[in-house]
Amino acid sequence: MSTYHEVRHLAESLTPDEQMRLIEDLSRLIRQTVTMTPKPKHSILELRGLGKEITEWN
Question: Residue ranges per domain, the chain?
Answer: 1-39
* pLDDT, tens digit (0-9, with 9 covering 90-100), for 19-47: 999 999 999 999 888 877 677 788 888 88
Report yes or no: 8 and 19 within 8 Å, Cβ to Cβ: no
Looking at residue 13, the DSSP 8-state letter turns out to be: T
pLDDT at residue number 5: 95
Query: From CA 11, how far away is CA 19, in angstroms rounded?
Result: 7
Report yes or no: 15 and 4 within 8 Å, Cβ to Cβ: no
Q: Which amino acid is residue 2, in one-letter code?
A: S
Query: From CA 51, how far away is CA 26, in angstroms rounded?
Result: 45
pLDDT at residue number 32: 87
pLDDT at residue number 28: 93
Q: Say yes or no to pLDDT of 1 above 70.
A: no
